[in-house]
Amino acid sequence: MFEATELNHRNQRTEKLWRLLFLMMTLLLILPVAVILTVLVVKGGPSLSIDFLFTEPTQGMTAGGILPALVGTVWLVVVALIASVPIGVAAALYLSEYAPDNWLTRIINLAIINLAGVPSIVHALFGVGAFVAFFRFGTSILAASLTLAVMTLPVVIVSTREALKAVPQAFREACWNMGATRWQTIRKVVLPNSVSGILTGVILEVSRTAGETAPIMFTGAAFFLPFLPQSVYDQTMALSLHLFVVSTQVPDVPEGLPFGVALVLIGLVLSMNAVSIGFRMVLRGKKKW
């Protein structure tokens, strides 16, 4: 009575075909990237060395290392984090702990989506108009980092909001019932229970910030500087812009050099990303509620 009919068989075959088709599509998205990364490693690997990371570019950037670019990227990322993390966490706290479900909250959410969707070069124009010219920071690490901070703010807000939302409502209610104020509840209960989730988002932001090029091109990153930055008012080299420069602007660069720079940049970004993902998975495993 329950024997498979010809129709069942046909349906099973069709399903297998669909499954195969979708699997192929997924793999076709991933495989080219795997091939490309392999090429980067093969061609860029030989130029990597301790010297490459810790010496300055020489002979018009056709030889030597990437130290100033590496240091510059660290400066840019750190200053951008100092600016964006407090604001982003505050925004997420507002949205998760305070905001009523009204038109203002909806507009805030729309603004966050739009902020994330504004083209990076428009962020660059904003940085030039606002930070470089209007606030008179000049082309400096400060102006470039603030531009990056504005651009990556949605990353912090969204990931922090998710981390806060993961704290069960009952934790808050228990604390309120003890007579604690909202802020006491946030500080003693909500934040301690979500700090690792927030950290995950911050690491993700580091990875995003380190790779951006367009927003820093005109706000503070320089093609070549013979010295390391001393303060936030200095210009700086940056790894991402350095890749653009050595691959398009400098003549007679040996082939391995830009591949080396690309490999360092992508290694930095992907390893930060992997740390963030790993962190998230450990957290999910540890969660007790």
Partner 1 sequence: MAQGIAKAPLPDQRNLAWYVDKTVQVLVFVGGISAILLILGIFVFITKEGMGFITQTLDIGEFFTSPNWRPTSENRPTYGALALIAGTASVTGLAMLVAVPFSLGAAIFIGEFATGKTREILKILVEMLAAIPSVVWGFIGLSIMNPLIIDLFNVPVGLNVLNSGLILGLMAAPIMTTLAEDALKAVPDGYREAAEAMGATRWQVIFRVVFPAAKNGLVAAVLLGVGRGFGETMAVLMASGHSINIPTSPFDSVRALTATIAAELGETAVGSDHYRALFTLGIFLFAITFLINLTADLVVRGPRKR
What residues from 6 to 65 belong to the interface with partner 1 (CB under 8 A)? 11-12, 14-15, 18-19, 21-26, 28-30, 32-33, 36, 39-40
Q: Can you tell me which of 183, 192, 227, 254 binds partner 1, judged by CB under 8 A?
A: 183
Q: How many residues bind partner 1 (CB under 8 A)?
A: 91
Nearer to partner 1, 76 or 186 (CB): 186
Q: Can you tell me which of 1, 50, 179, 286 binds partner 1, judged by CB under 8 A?
A: 179
Minimum distance between the CB of residue 83 and partner 1, rounded to whole angstroms? Answer: 11
3-state secondary structure the chain: CCCCCHHHHHHHHHHHHHHHHHHHHHHHHHHHHHHHHHHHHHHHHHHCCHHHHHCCEECCCCEECCHHHHHHHHHHHHHHHHHHHHHHHHHHHHHHHHCCCCHHHHHHHHHHHHHHHCCHHHHHHHHHHHHHHHCCCCCCHHHHHHHHHHHHHHHHHHHHHHHHHCCCHHHHHHHHHCCCCHHHHHHHHHHHHHHHHHHHHHHHHHHHHHHCCHHHHCCCECCCCCCCCCCCCCCECCHHHHHHHHHHHCCCCCCHHHHHHHHHHHHHHHHHHHHHHHHHHHHHHHCCC
Q: Can you tell me which of 144, 157, 167, 232 binds partner 1, judged by CB under 8 A?
A: 157
The verdict on 253 binding partner 1 (CB under 8 A) reads no
Nearer to partner 1, 73 or 193 (CB): 73
Which among 50-58, 95-103, 168-176, 229-237 is the span making contact with partner 1, rule CB under 8 A? Answer: 95-103
Q: Can you tell me which of 79, 128, 143, 148 binds partner 1, judged by CB under 8 A?
A: 128
The verdict on 142 binding partner 1 (CB under 8 A) reads no
The verdict on 1 binding partner 1 (CB under 8 A) reads no
Q: Can you tell me which of 59, 102, 230, 248 binds partner 1, judged by CB under 8 A?
A: 248
In three-state secondary structure terms, 136 is coil
Which among 51-59, 68-76, 122-130, 228-236 is the span making contact with partner 1, rule CB under 8 A? Answer: 122-130
Nearer to partner 1, 118 or 228 (CB): 118
